[in-house]
Amino acid sequence: MIKVCIWRFCCLCSILLSFVAFTPLVIPSKTAEPFVLGMPRTLWAGLLISLGLVVITIVGACVVDFEEGGDIK
Amino acid sequence: MTFWFITLFCIYIIALVYCAFYGRKKTSKKRLDFLTGGSNLGAVLGFFTFSATLFSTFTLMGMPDFVRNHGIGAWIFLGVTDVAMAFVVLWFGIKLRRRIANERFESVSSLLCQTFGNRIAGATYLVGVFIFLVPYVSIQIRGVAIFLEAVAPIKLPMWVWALSILLLMLAYSGIGGLKAIMYSDVIQGTVLLIVTWFIAIGCVKYFGGIGEMFNAVEQVDPALLSTPGPKGLFTPQFLIASFLAILVMPISQPQLTIRIAIMRNTSQLKKMAAAVSVFAFLVILPTIAIGCYGAVKHSGASTAAFLANTLVHEQVPFIAAAAIVGLLAAAMSTADSQLFALGTEFESFLPGKKEVFRAEAAILFFAAASFILALLTNDQLVMLARVSFAGTSLLAPMILAAVLRPKRLGKEIPIFTLIALAVFLLSVIKIIPSKIGPIRMDLFLLCTVAFITLLSSYIRSGMLKKEGNV
């Protein structure tokens, strides 16, 4: 049951993170500040979103139940 | 450089020949094994073949040029999108495997014919992939052939390079089937990743660090460091439409769907999806540095001059030679899988006795069509690729319906999909406008097809429940 909840949470997080990537939080029009580690805002924020999605995919792959899928005969 | 180019090129060709015969040894003579690689794909091979098939010349040639011209919004365009796509691989893979758990997967078109109970859905799918995948194969072959014509130490005209690439792909896929393509993908994916990182590290070193690199870019054009970029391309609407079109590629493009379907088991699929997300991040990240280098050093140059200088002329001979071979590998690893998948889809759809030679004939036909188009098409690699992604994405709602709601699906879904494909094609060739009011045509069509598919499935499932109650 916990695994099912985590899997659903991963699905929700991936949708939310993808949504955030297209908001002014990540792609503000004509704004490069603030710079972090020398990188402009859209790049570092985009990298953080991508890293978040990588982590979610790995966690999702660990918890998604076999019963959700199936093996080919 | 000539010495290194000939040495690496020979090693690459020998490796491909070995893959072809190793693939033949590992594949039985049965037709389905030839076309699906025995449906026994492990996580490591699955990850390499999926990644190499996904990342093409679009990554090593298109993305740096995109960053150079339109700025760092390119990371949202492809970096965020491809990593999100890895999650779709996991989610869709689980659903697809549950759908086909009690049958042997042959092709997407046969799955559609079987689920919809008629051949309209299969035919719609084939029309879509033919119209939008063959040009994509062509532009990749053309892109790398033009590049080789310009920079390879062996001087050959573009059409000879294009023809040689196609013949080489046909040879190893014909000898060893899908298994040979997969083994060659391991080499091609590895070469692509290593070469991209080598060149990117050189680009960052040129500036003295990441901060200095972006400072230099800011001096050239500050608009490169934010969206929508200097030419105003990366608007939220363009990025969202591209995101949706690319996100559904594992669902809508047969060369990717087939790789998900033929994984050995769900456990291997899960490992593969996780590895693809890491690979996507790692292979796209360095293209940002290459693009920034181009923005500073080759800001006014043509695409061809920028790529020739950045990837070859300004590199040490070994890296330059590896870049040429890497580009060849990137183009071949995607194009061979696309041609093979097109051949598989058409062969399984055609009536009559199913034989390996029919699939080979179909692959040959698509290779010939791609070659002719490669000679005729233009050089807008990224934008043409994006049209291909947007076109095939219109097929995704129909395929998803077949995978998620297989019990009762109506003819209206493939018919509306076919209409959407026709409308999109007309907008691409500018017979009708490319926007409806402020909304892009591709985004409007994708949302409309998705809505109609959802509505049709909902109404029909309600009817089914009613019949059950009666």
Query: At CA B137, angle to CA B107 and CA B387, rounded to 5?
Result: 95
Residues of chain B with pLDDT under 50: none
Is residue B426 one of the residues assigned to a domain? no
Collect all residues with Cβ–Cβ distance below 8 Å to B86 and sequence separation of at least 6.
Answer: A53, A54, A57, B273, B274, B276, B277, B280
Is residue A71 one of the residues assigned to a domain? no
Residue B337 and residue B169 in contact, taking contact as beta carbons nearer than 8 Å: no
How far apart CA B199 and CA B204 sit, in angstroms, is 9
Residue B309 and residue B84 in contact, taking contact as beta carbons nearer than 8 Å: no
pLDDT the model gives residue A66 = 55
Tally helices (H) and strands (E) across chain A: 2, 0
Contact A33/B at CB under 8 A: no
pLDDT band at A4, cuts 50/70/90?
A: confident
How far apart CA B415 and CA B183 sit, in angstroms, is 38
User: Number of folded domains in chain A?
Assistant: 1
Provide the residue range defining the domain that includes A24.
2-66
Three-state SS at B227: strand
Number of C-alpha atoms within 13 angstroms, CB side, residue B165?
36
How far apart CA B143 and CA A30 sit, in angstroms, is 32
- ipTM, 2 decimals? 0.92
Burial class (CB in 10 A: 0-12, 13-18, 19+), B431: exposed
**DSSP bridge pairs for B259:** none
Q: Is the CB of A32 less than 8 angstroms away from the CB of B218?
A: yes
Angstroms from A68 CA to nearest CA on chain B: 7
pLDDT the model gives residue B68 = 95
User: Number of folded domains in chain B?
Assistant: 1
How far apart CA B362 and CA B23 sit, in angstroms, is 20
pTM: 0.90
Angstroms from B361 CA to nearest CA on chain A: 28
Q: Is the dihedral of CA B221, B225, B226, B231 positive or negative?
A: positive
Is residue B458 one of the residues assigned to a domain? no
Angstroms from A55 CA to nearest CA on chain B: 9
Contact A57/B at CB under 8 A: yes
Is residue B389 one of the residues assigned to a domain? no
Residue with the two structure tokens 């026994």: B40
Tokens representing residue A64 in the block: 């998604």
Is residue A51 one of the residues assigned to a domain? yes
Is residue B463 one of the residues assigned to a domain? no
Three-state SS at B40: coil
Interface test with A, best of B83, B265, B269, B278 (most A CBs within 10 A): B83
Query: At CA B144, angle to CA B141 and CA B147, rounded to 5?
Result: 145
Residue B81 and residue B242 in contact, taking contact as beta carbons nearer than 8 Å: yes
Instruction: Please give the DSSP secondary-structure letter assigned to residue B436.
Output: E
Contact A15/B at CB under 8 A: no
Is residue A15 one of the residues assigned to a domain? yes
Instruction: Please give the DSSP secondary-structure letter assigned to residue A33.
Output: P
* H or E, element range at B368: helix B356-376
Cβ contacts of B243 on chain A, cutoff 8 Å:
18, 21-22
Angstroms from A67 CA to nearest CA on chain B: 9
Residues in chain B: 470
How far apart CA B302 and CA B307 sit, in angstroms, is 9
Residue A40 and residue B73 in contact, taking contact as beta carbons nearer than 8 Å: no
Q: Is the CB of B97 less than 8 angstroms away from the CB of A70?
A: yes
Is residue A72 one of the residues assigned to a domain? no
Is residue A73 one of the residues assigned to a domain? no
Strands B439-440 and B435-436: antiparallel
* H or E, element range at B144: helix B120-151
Provide the residue range defining the domain that includes B315.
2-379
pLDDT the model gives residue A67 = 54
Contact A60/B at CB under 8 A: yes
| CATH at residue B23 | 1.20.1730.10
Cβ contacts of B219 on chain A, cutoff 8 Å:
none
Is residue B455 one of the residues assigned to a domain? no
Cβ contacts of A15 on chain B, cutoff 8 Å:
none
pLDDT the model gives residue B381 = 58
How far apart CA A14 and CA A6 sit, in angstroms, is 12
pLDDT the model gives residue A73 = 37
Interface test with A, best of B266, B278, B279 (most A CBs within 10 A): B266
